[in-house]
Structure 1
Amino acid sequence: MNESKDFLRVIVEEDLKAHKYNEVVTRFPPEPNGFPHIGHAKSIAINFGIARDYNGHCNLRMDDTNPTTEDTRYVEALKDAVEWLGFKWEGNVRYTSDYFPQIYAYAVELVKMGKAYVDSLSEEEIREYRGTVTEPGRRSVYAERSVEENLDLLERMKNGEFKDGEHVLRAKIDMSAANMKMRDPLLYRIRHAHHYRTGDAWHIYPMYDFGHCLSDYIEGVSHSICTLEFENNRDIYDWVLDTLGLTSPRPYQHEFARLGINYTVMSKRKLLELVNEGYVNGWDDPRMPTIAGLRRRGYTPESILNFCHQIGIAKANSMVDVAQLEFCIRDDLNTKVPRVMCVLDPLKITIENYEGTEELDASYYPEDVPKEGSRKLPFSREIYIERDDFSENPPAGFYRLTPEQPVRLKHAYIISCKEVIKDADGNITEIIATYHPDSKSGSDTSGIKVKSAIQWVDAHSAKTVEVRLYDRLYACEAPEGVEDLNPDSLKIIKNALIEPAVITEKPDVRFQFERQGYFYADPVDYTDEAPVFNKIVGLKDSWNKKAKADETPAKPERKAPEKKVQVEGEVAPMSEAEQARYKTYTETMKLGNEVANTLARDEKLSAFFEASLSAYNSPVTLANIVSNEVARELKEKEASELKFTPAQIAELVKMIDEEIISNKIAKQVFEEMVTSGENPAQIVEAQGLVQISDPALISPIIDDVMAKNPDNVEKYRAGNTKLFGFFVGQVLKATGGKANPQVVNDLVAQKLQ
């Protein structure tokens, strides 16, 4: 069992001590409407791990209640992910659709109890009747239907007599509940769609909140563990089970924080866009955060599970550094994989005083790795080294081969440069070298001191391989769209050279290429005739160095923005002062309900907002920045500790309103204000961030993007209008995000006609 006791395991242990359950039963219940990603891996590790730790079992259940989005290929991918991570579900795979008859019977029971009714309001009317966080909702007039009428309508809904959206089944709870999800939530909706398992047998499908808790109960689940976004749904979960009076033991829901990783997106919509628009090469592209992508990259199940264990189980959402995931795969492979030599950018070395050939004994593993295995390295007078391991005019601290400085060839001899051969353009094409016969590794008596050993391959026996150098898919810490993609996330080297034993002996499928990183034989494209290796991860975290070295990045790294969401849990009533502020914000300033609610309830935030407003009267834009960006800072600091002032925020908003900078650039400027306290105008001027709105400047950039992407232009004009976002994103990227998005949209639309 895990040594550390997270809060979920504490709950489980308390329940077992109280004899609440005889056995711990958990479940992993994904909806089969997409390929699983690393966020699913965390949920898998938690649910299956807790069941294992307490000698219980975990079910794998497909929550297949939406026939329009689900598919058997996603079912197979989810099953494969669980098995690859090393877990085994109890019995057969379960499906919510298997319980449709039982769930429907429970719905009928609620109607008979007077606890559910068929509503005929439109979707828009239901939304309107729901009320707001400060105002109670109104119950539908259809809630007065008799039990007999409701039963008749429900039966006819099931039989397919009505159109989609014509009726819904709702629970009758409380239209004034503080938790807005309890305001007569939907239990069933009509959906005339073919289900991948039940076919056309059903014309109504249960909503998540109804089907989920009942499926847990039917399966005998003890602990229903889900992510934090379902916290407010817990009240419905309990209401359904308690109202039906289901016999004990019954399940209870517990929530944990979902996984967020910087430099990564896990939204199904955004991942789908990457695949459909060709930004990546399918769901198993090694740059994707999908389980299939991570597997093809070369990640091991052990590294993923270790990552999930290290980040722990929290109650509050936070952002995890992707460097921690990269550390876990390095840590796992360091003690497992053979070390071999590969040259990515070959430079020929001719050793003029060496004659013949020989085979050198070389271990696959360093002394601190407790594994055995070795190979023969062919060696002759012609070899290749990495081009950047030679410098004709070396900088300080360069310890590899130079005209004056010898270097050791790993597992072989020390060589010295004698002559540099160049082509007509001055490019180095070959090095003439000499070797020191008494410097052989393991029996060196030369007395020559060198500070470095470099990798090399024999020119005659080396194998040509394709090497795919994968890097992070996004260039910024908190990516928002395709304009944030890293243009250097994949570099393909077609003619790298590798020592022959890697191909002929196949000691493993994962390797450490000496001084390069960890690599994996691509499981899809690799053949003995055309080997392909994927870079898993570098030997060190190079991104941290990049961030420090780049003093004027096009898009600085920034903390992931905390998304403001409407809080629909138990909300304390507003005080008189808060109500007055809310009324002013919504009625006089025309702020949205959510933003107004956030500001009105927080005295520090409202004071900051009103101080900014006194400096510049733009309530809507100011409110958005204060309730999001400023609120994030005030969570951890007092207003007096902030480096920026309300007047500076007002100045920032004025620059947005006057279209001097875009909203996106404004966020970048704000991050600089947080750390430096400088005025926004000074930051914009110093970093050249003024928004480009002149069509005459933007138009040539669009022309250039279109010229470089003729295939996409042709596809767009042939009807693939989804590519519009691609062109806009490329233009914004080319301008470092400084182009006015509205002007770009208008011009791109004109030029693509």
Structure 2
Amino acid sequence: MSENNTSSNFIKHIIKEDLANGYNEIVTRFPPEPNGYLHIGHAKSIVLNFELADEFGGRTNLRFDDTNPLKEDVEYVESIKDSISWLGYEWDELRYASNYFDEMYNRAVLLIKKGLAYVEDMSQEEIREYRGTLKEPGKESPSRSRSIEENLDLFDRMKKGEFQNGEKVVRAKIDMSSPNINMRDPVIYRIAHATHHNTGDDWCIYPMYSFAHPLEDAIEGVTHSICTLEFEDQRPLYNWVVEQCEMEAKPKQIEFARLNLTNTVMSKRKLKQLVDENFVDGWDDPRMPTISGLRRRGYTPEAIKKFCREIGVARADNLVDVRMLEHFIREDLKLKAPRTMSVLHPLKVVITNYPEGEVEWLDAEINPENEDMGTRKIPFSREIYIEQSDFMEDPPKKYFRLFPGNEVRLKHAYFITCNDVIKDEEGNVVELHCTYDPETKSGTGFTGRKVKGTLHWVEATNAKEAEFRLYDSLILDEKGGSDFLEQVNPNSLEVASGYVEQNMSDAKENDKFQFFRHGYFNVDPNDSTDEKLVFNRIVELKSSFKL
């Protein structure tokens, strides 16, 4: 983690104390459930777990908490591995919770033999009713008094598939009057007749997450089980499982505040709903906060990791402005991305006094903030495109762009003056006729008259057709509501068809550019073709956000 955030990372201080008090090695894990794609909140956990272990000479496992075959899929497993690798991390070992199903079953049998677990006949609704409330204690189930022998027999029959889904569960026998509802005889096994992505049809009973997770950590020798604050109330159950199942290793659960971003959904369930109901074009839609979506949009691993380090690690929940994430991609690209020009909404300009058929090549810096990137050549001829918004026939005061009789500067080129406006039958402006002053060529030391407007442009005869996708927040109301779909922004995507400079013909997927005045863009890896480039706007050029 970055040095300037050392004081805010309380977990680091805990690890230092543990090492001073006899810990030999630090072992962390990143334990996603493969029921969706990873998002920016997971990136914070990835950075935290991998970099803490690395800093203290430890190791980090990637472990899939695949205990629910009804929601999990190999597609999610592969996407998770790909996202972690793309961020630049290597796990020490790849593990699956399903690899431990035999041992988990045996530990559940051990609890039954110790009189600390029993088979429950009540339905899910009845269990919930008996559990009580925050103000009222729960009631003991009639099944709680079953004999150890009967519980062992029923659990064995559950394993053999003699019961239907929901017909029976196994509950830990702890304390129905506990002030912590998580300790009121929680369910630790349920029946699910479903094919598992890793174990196939070997099992029809599966451990609950709250039972499986502490066992997985203990089996792997995890020293620090780092999780988000919603698991704080489950820590007593976590410790109970490790202790009563007689696990040799004793992992330490530590909770930290999850990442909450303005105007951003941070729930895999809700993100899946956006995908399933076609609000977005898949998990890697550039509007999605998934790592694959950010990657397709054009975010870099470096920017994401710097953002995760900068926000620090705290105990209290807070809301981070999404503009902070945007700040770090700007900072990362400003010295890396080549500068070039594009026209998103083209208006044709004919320079009537420029020789017909002639094309000259002008010099332009690739990136003024990085001289090592050198210069590029851009064509200039009689016909160019400018932005429609850079011309007004009847402009207001203090409008310094192009209008009849006004002179402006073309970026890297000449001064031009608008003389005539060509319209179609409906009165729409379709073409401008201008003249240029050959003495005003950029880079020649011209010191004559001054103009206040500078326009970007693209030479028309060599221009390459392109599509530009401009993104706004996917979610309008950062506070959410009863139905988050009501906050989905219907205008989160604008598509424009225009042109880029001729030298963009060699642009490849995921190449990144800064387009003059428009922002930073990424060549879409899915939809771009040799015939037509597709650019995703990563972020606009400027923001009012300050660190």
TM-score normalized with structure 1 length: 0.69
**Would you say the 8 A contact 1:509–1:520 is kept in 2?**
yes
Shift in Å at residue 132 of structure 1?
1.7
Q: Which of 491, 494, 502 is residue 491 of structure 1 equivalent to?
A: 494
**Would you say the 8 A contact 1:438–1:446 is kept in 2?**
no
Residue identity in the other structure for 2:419: K
Residue identity in the other structure for 2:270: K
| Equivalent residue runs for 1:136-147 within 5 Å | 136-147=137-148
The one-character-per-residue Cα deviations of 1:68-111 (angstroms, maximum 9, x if unpaired) are: 111100100111111111111113x2100000111111112222
Shift in Å at residue 397 of structure 1?
3.2
The one-character-per-residue Cα deviations of 1:336-371 (angstroms, maximum 9, x if unpaired) are: 1000110111122222222232111212111x2253
The one-character-per-residue Cα deviations of 1:649-692 (angstroms, maximum 9, x if unpaired) are: xxxxxxxxxxxxxxxxxxxxxxxxxxxxxxxxxxxxxxxxxxxx
Residue in 2 aligned with 1:298? 298
**Would you say the 8 A contact 1:338–1:511 is kept in 2?**
yes
Residue identity in the other structure for 2:327: F
Residue identity in the other structure for 2:102: P
Asked whether 1:476 is paired with 2:477, we answer yes
Asked whether 1:114 is paired with 2:115, we answer yes
Shift in Å at residue 487 of structure 1?
2.5
Residue in 2 aligned with 1:625? none
User: In the superposition, relative to structure 1, how do residues 301 and 505 fare at CA in structure 2: closer, same or farther (>3 Å)?
Assistant: closer
Asked whether 1:11 is paired with 2:11, we answer no
The one-character-per-residue Cα deviations of 1:624-658 (angstroms, maximum 9, x if unpaired) are: xxxxxxxxxxxxxxxxxxxxxxxxxxxxxxxxxxx
Partner SS state of residue 237, structure 1:
helix
Residue identity in the other structure for 1:269: R
Residue in 1 aligned with 2:331? 331
Asked whether 1:272 is paired with 2:272, we answer yes
**Would you say the 8 A contact 1:438–1:444 is kept in 2?**
no
Residue in 2 aligned with 1:384? 385
| Equivalent residue runs for 1:643-662 within 5 Å | none
Shift in Å at residue 427 of structure 1?
2.5
Partner SS state of residue 235, structure 1:
helix
Paired with 2:20 and 2:372, the residues of 1 have a C-alpha distance of: 45
**Would you say the 8 A contact 2:391–2:402 is kept in 1?**
yes
Paired with 2:406 and 2:132, the residues of 1 have a C-alpha distance of: 78
Paired with 1:40 and 1:145, the residues of 2 have a C-alpha distance of: 42
Residue in 2 aligned with 1:615? none
Residue in 2 aligned with 1:397? 398
Asked whether 1:164 is paired with 2:165, we answer yes
**Would you say the 8 A contact 2:38–2:83 is kept in 1?**
yes
Paired with 2:371 and 2:60, the residues of 1 have a C-alpha distance of: 36
The one-character-per-residue Cα deviations of 1:166-190 (angstroms, maximum 9, x if unpaired) are: 3222212111111111011111112
**Would you say the 8 A contact 1:38–1:290 is kept in 2?**
yes
Partner SS state of residue 320, structure 1:
coil
**Would you say the 8 A contact 2:509–2:524 is kept in 1?**
no
| Equivalent residue runs for 1:638-677 within 5 Å | none
**Would you say the 8 A contact 1:518–1:535 is kept in 2?**
yes
Residue in 1 aligned with 2:352? 352
Shift in Å at residue 516 of structure 1?
0.6
**Would you say the 8 A contact 1:264–1:479 is kept in 2?**
no
CA-atom RMSD in angstroms: 2.0
**Would you say the 8 A contact 1:436–1:446 is kept in 2?**
no
Q: Identity percentage over the alignment? A: 56
User: In the superposition, relative to structure 1, how do residues 170 and 500 fare at CA in structure 2: closer, same or farther (>3 Å)?
Assistant: same
Residue in 1 aligned with 2:456? 455
Paired with 2:385 and 2:501, the residues of 1 have a C-alpha distance of: 11
Residue in 2 aligned with 1:55? 57
The one-character-per-residue Cα deviations of 1:2-44 (angstroms, maximum 9, x if unpaired) are: 212211111111111112x211111111111112111211111
Paired with 1:532 and 1:508, the residues of 2 have a C-alpha distance of: 10
More helix by proportion, 1 or 2?
1
Asked whether 1:242 is paired with 2:243, we answer yes
Residue in 2 aligned with 1:708? none
Residue identity in the other structure for 1:56: G
Paired with 1:266 and 1:318, the residues of 2 have a C-alpha distance of: 13
The one-character-per-residue Cα deviations of 1:548-572 (angstroms, maximum 9, x if unpaired) are: xxxxxxxxxxxxxxxxxxxxxxxxx
Paired with 1:188 and 1:507, the residues of 2 have a C-alpha distance of: 47
| Equivalent residue runs for 1:583-622 within 5 Å | none
**Would you say the 8 A contact 1:520–1:533 is kept in 2?**
yes
Residue in 2 aligned with 1:36? 38
Paired with 2:98 and 2:248, the residues of 1 have a C-alpha distance of: 23
Residue in 1 aligned with 2:428? 427
Residue in 2 aligned with 1:209? 210
Partner SS state of residue 443, structure 1:
coil
User: In the superposition, relative to structure 1, how do residues 350 and 392 fare at CA in structure 2: closer, same or farther (>3 Å)?
Assistant: same
Paired with 2:124 and 2:112, the residues of 1 have a C-alpha distance of: 21
Shift in Å at residue 479 of structure 1?
4.0
Partner SS state of residue 269, structure 1:
helix
**Would you say the 8 A contact 2:510–2:525 is kept in 1?**
no
**Would you say the 8 A contact 2:409–2:415 is kept in 1?**
yes
Residue identity in the other structure for 2:60: C
Residue in 2 aligned with 1:697? none
**Would you say the 8 A contact 2:509–2:525 is kept in 1?**
no
Paired with 1:507 and 1:283, the residues of 2 have a C-alpha distance of: 18
Consecutive unaligned residues of structure 2, counting only runs of 5 or more, are none
Residue identity in the other structure for 1:378: P
**Would you say the 8 A contact 1:111–1:117 is kept in 2?**
yes
Paired with 2:348 and 2:445, the residues of 1 have a C-alpha distance of: 25
Residue in 2 aligned with 1:80? 82
**Would you say the 8 A contact 2:215–2:247 is kept in 1?**
no
User: In the superposition, relative to structure 1, how do residues 160 and 377 fare at CA in structure 2: closer, same or farther (>3 Å)?
Assistant: same
Residue in 2 aligned with 1:372? 373
**Would you say the 8 A contact 1:338–1:508 is kept in 2?**
no
Residue in 2 aligned with 1:533? 535
Paired with 2:168 and 2:277, the residues of 1 have a C-alpha distance of: 37
Residue in 2 aligned with 1:288? 288
Residue identity in the other structure for 2:92: E
Shift in Å at residue 164 of structure 1?
2.2
Q: Decide which moves more: 444-453 or 64-73.
A: 444-453
Shift in Å at residue 505 of structure 1?
6.3
Residue in 1 aligned with 2:311? 311
Residue identity in the other structure for 2:157: R
Shift in Å at residue 401 of structure 1?
2.4
Paired with 1:282 and 1:542, the residues of 2 have a C-alpha distance of: 31
Partner SS state of residue 535, structure 1:
strand
Paired with 1:296 and 1:532, the residues of 2 have a C-alpha distance of: 12
The one-character-per-residue Cα deviations of 1:42-81 (angstroms, maximum 9, x if unpaired) are: 1111111211221211111110111111110010011111
Residue in 2 aligned with 1:131? 132
Paired with 1:206 and 1:504, the residues of 2 have a C-alpha distance of: 53
Residue in 1 aligned with 2:415? 414
Q: Which of 61, 65, 86 is residue 67 of structure 2 equivalent to?
A: 65
**Would you say the 8 A contact 2:510–2:524 is kept in 1?**
no
Residue identity in the other structure for 1:119: E
Paired with 1:347 and 1:122, the residues of 2 have a C-alpha distance of: 68
Higher RCO (CA 8 Å, separation ≥ 6 residues)? 2
Partner SS state of residue 398, structure 1:
coil
Paired with 1:492 and 1:65, the residues of 2 have a C-alpha distance of: 42
Residue in 2 aligned with 1:750? none
Paired with 1:2 and 1:318, the residues of 2 have a C-alpha distance of: 20
The one-character-per-residue Cα deviations of 1:455-507 (angstroms, maximum 9, x if unpaired) are: 1111111111111222221333334433322222112123x011110113669
Residue identity in the other structure for 1:377: I
User: In the superposition, relative to structure 1, how do residues 274 and 247 fare at CA in structure 2: closer, same or farther (>3 Å)?
Assistant: closer
| Equivalent residue runs for 1:440-451 within 5 Å | 440-451=441-452
User: In the superposition, relative to structure 1, how do residues 11 and 540 fare at CA in structure 2: closer, same or farther (>3 Å)?
Assistant: same
Residue in 1 aligned with 2:520? 518
Q: Decide which moves more: 533-542 or 327-336.
A: 533-542
User: In the superposition, relative to structure 1, how do residues 203 and 399 fare at CA in structure 2: closer, same or farther (>3 Å)?
Assistant: same
**Would you say the 8 A contact 1:110–1:244 is kept in 2?**
yes
